[in-house]
């Protein structure tokens, strides 16, 4: 029988055998896979592991704090946060084309992670060691998908932690290679990770950067982050998290419409809700959310988020629409 305790014990043994007393590094994305992979490796080799978390400024409300405080408190992991918010904003200035945004975010991410890794390697060398291993939260479906992915046109260039340049040479540690997402969550729970991290729905690597339709600016990020936090809070309060695969919240930054708020005319931006139901994100249907939940979300966003005077619902399945708007 599948049992998370057994899997943990078995993986801990394997990781110890692979790593020995070497140093190991892991990039945390805030998502469940890298968090559970790192926690397993930490269980096996303790402070031989150092984690790096890149704050690119495209994160959702509270994600950095959850990693820096809750996750670290639960695991005792050594964590280095790199604050790269300015760097990403500067690199994205003036850019509106979705694939260009994705490429810039992916490139800056790898640069930042690479620099942090190189710094840690140098530090380890000062301390008489080197870092030879890199943890990746690769799951079984990731492996299957990449094996069957040839010949299909690139619809969007996805990026994750990983895809590191060849000149930074690490051997990979992939303790989740045989597992599915629900099994990874079970292991995370067993290891005592915070519920907000273990239960987190998929969130794209390029983050809020591809949910602002138009140029990414600090002001727009702050606005979208606020709207997104309201949507997540209301969906959770309504007990709908298990029913929804994910619900992107999108800011149409280049669109404005006329509204009336208080006793004045406004000329503000629309927010799009994109709730989807899916098995694997390859296809999806739009989720029929209860009207009262939609009404509450709409009221709260238009009342609480300055600059937004309209909330609209995306009722497109995938295909033809993708889940994210960019």
Calpha distance 297→311 (Å, rounded): 9
Calpha distance 112→124 (Å, rounded): 18
Of 23 and 211, the one with the shorter C-beta distance to ligand XMP is: 211
Regarding 34 and contact with ligand XMP (CB under 6 A), the answer is no
User: Which of 246, 298, 302, 309 is in the footprint of ligand XMP by CB under 6 A?
Assistant: 246
Of 263 and 279, the one with the shorter C-beta distance to ligand XMP is: 279
Regarding 163 and contact with ligand XMP (CB under 6 A), the answer is no
Say if residue 188 carries a ligand binding annotation.
no
Calpha distance 135→117 (Å, rounded): 12
Strand partners, 276: 246, 286
CB of 205 to ligand XMP, least distance (A): 4
Q: Are 198 and 181 in contact (CB under 8 A)?
A: no
Regarding 244 and contact with ligand XMP (CB under 6 A), the answer is no
Q: Which strand (E) or helix (H) includes residue 186?
A: helix 181-190
Give Cβ neighbours of residue 129 (< 8 Å, ≥ 6 apart): 22, 23
Number of residues near ligand XMP (by CB under 6 A): 14
Q: Are 51 and 26 in contact (CB under 8 A)?
A: yes
Using the contact rule CB under 6 A, the part of the chain among 48-56, 109-117, 155-163, 183-191 near ligand XMP is: 155-163
CA distances from 30 to 61, 196, 200, 203 (A): 12, 10, 9, 9
Give Cβ neighbours of residue 66 (< 8 Å, ≥ 6 apart): 30, 194, 196, 197
Say if residue 30 carries a ligand binding annotation.
yes
User: Which of 27, 57, 188, 205 is in the footprint of ligand XMP by CB under 6 A?
Assistant: 205
Regarding 159 and contact with ligand XMP (CB under 6 A), the answer is yes
Regarding 234 and contact with ligand XMP (CB under 6 A), the answer is no
Regarding 204 and contact with ligand XMP (CB under 6 A), the answer is yes
Regarding 158 and contact with ligand XMP (CB under 6 A), the answer is yes
Say if residue 157 carries a ligand binding annotation.
no
Binding residues vs ligand XMP (CB under 6 A):
156, 158-160, 202, 204-206, 246, 281, 318, 322-324
- Binding-site residues for ATP: 29-35
């Amino acid at each position: 029988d599948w049992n998370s305790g057994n899997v943990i014990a078995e993986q801990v043994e394997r990781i110890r055998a692979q790593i020995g007393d070497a140093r190991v590094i892991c990039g945390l994305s805030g998502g469940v896979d890298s968090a559970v992979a790192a926690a397993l490796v930490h269980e096996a080799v303790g402070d031989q592991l150092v984690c790096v978390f890149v704050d690119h400024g495209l994160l959702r409300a509270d994600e950095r704090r959850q990693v820096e405080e809750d996750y670290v408190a639960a695991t005792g992991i050594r964590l280095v946060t790199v604050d790269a918010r300015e760097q990403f904003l500067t690199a994205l200035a003036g850019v509106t084309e979705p694939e260009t945004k994705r490429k810039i975010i992916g490139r800056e991410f790898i640069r930042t992670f690479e620099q942090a890794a190189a710094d840690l390697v140098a530090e380890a060398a000062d301390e008489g060691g080197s870092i030879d291993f890199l943890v990746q939260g690769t799951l079984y479906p990731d492996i299957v998908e990449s094996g069957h992915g040839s010949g299909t046109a690139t619809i969007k260039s996805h990026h994750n932690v990983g895809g590191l340049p060849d000149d930074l040479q690490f051997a990979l540690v992939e303790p989740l290679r045989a597992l599915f997402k629900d099994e990874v969550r079970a292991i995370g729970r067993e290891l005592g990770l915070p519920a907000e991290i273990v239960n987190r729905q998929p969130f794209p690597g390029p983050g809020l950067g591809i949910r602002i339709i138009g140029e990414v600016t600090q002001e727009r990020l702050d606005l979208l982050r606020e709207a997104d936090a309201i949507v997540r809070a209301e969906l959770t309060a309504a007990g709908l998290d298990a029913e929804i695969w994910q619900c992107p919240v999108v800011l149409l930054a280049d669109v404005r419409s006329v509204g009336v708020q208080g006793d004045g005319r406004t000329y503000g931006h629309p927010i799009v809700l994109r709730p989807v139901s899916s098995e694997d994100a390859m296809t999806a249907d739009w989720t029929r959310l209860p009207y009262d939940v939609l009404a509450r979300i709409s009221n709260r966003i238009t009342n609480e988020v300055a600059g937004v005077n309209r909330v609209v619902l995306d009722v497109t399945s995938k295909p033809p629409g993708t889940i994210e708007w960019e």
